[in-house]
């Protein structure tokens, strides 16, 4: 498994926490003179109706294979670039290239496997997100995957509100077509 670029808070299998820390990174700021509006920065949760969404180009997958995440979380900066610390595709990457590389099989997916995207403004996510990491413990209380070295984020656990497609959770929920339209309008 390849490691992400150094200098980032990163723990495999904790994408929502990686994204929370990434939102505070100065690297997400555009170069001086470039029109990058902070209000356009979004945290994007990706899930589907099946409960396991296929992704290509991820570090945790076998080389050339796909991985089935129950959800995934990335950051979309104000310039339309995706920051995904779990991808092998590049960092940052124009959103259209990230979508094409992460879902090259999209045209063949049945409706229940199609990804949905919950877009949450960065400031709202940084303020409201909380995880006690209980979703990463098995029935016996053991960790399913080693936890990050930093303390849990926030108080309590509201991660399900971000990944549940049937709830009217934070932000805006878009299907594949609406996400493409949104990205085209941002450019």
Active centre residues (catalytic): 15, 72, 84
* Strands 72-76 vs 42-47: parallel, antiparallel or unpaired: antiparallel
Between CA 80 and CA 72 the distance in angstroms is 18
Is the N-terminal amide bond of 174 cis, ω within 30° of 0? Answer: no
CB atoms inside a 10 Å sphere around CB 91: 17
Structure tokens that stand for 177 in this block: 């077509």
Measure CA 27 to chain center: 17
């Amino acid at each position: 498994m390849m490691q992400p670029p150094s200098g980032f808070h990163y723990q495999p299998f904790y994408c929502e926490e990686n994204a929370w820390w990434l939102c505070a990174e100065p690297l997400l700021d555009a170069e001086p003179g470039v029109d990058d509006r902070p209000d356009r920065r979004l945290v994007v949760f990706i899930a589907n109706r099946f409960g396991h969404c296929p992704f290509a180009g991820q570090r945790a997958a076998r080389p050339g294979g796909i991985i089935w995440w129950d959800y995934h979380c990335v950051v979309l900066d104000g310039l339309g670039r995706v920051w995904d610390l779990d991808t092998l595709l590049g960092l940052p990457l124009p959103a259209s290239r990230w979508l094409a590389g992460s879902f090259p099989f999209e045209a063949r997916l049945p409706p229940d496997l199609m990804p949905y995207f919950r877009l949450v403004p960065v400031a709202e996510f940084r303020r409201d997100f909380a995880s006690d990491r209980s979703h990463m413990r098995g029935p016996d209380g053991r960790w399913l995957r080693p936890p990050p070295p930093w303390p849990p984020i926030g108080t309590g656990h509201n991660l399900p509100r971000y990944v549940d497609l049937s709830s009217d959770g934070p932000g805006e929920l878009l299907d594949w077509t609406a996400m493409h339209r949104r990205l085209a309008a941002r450019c």
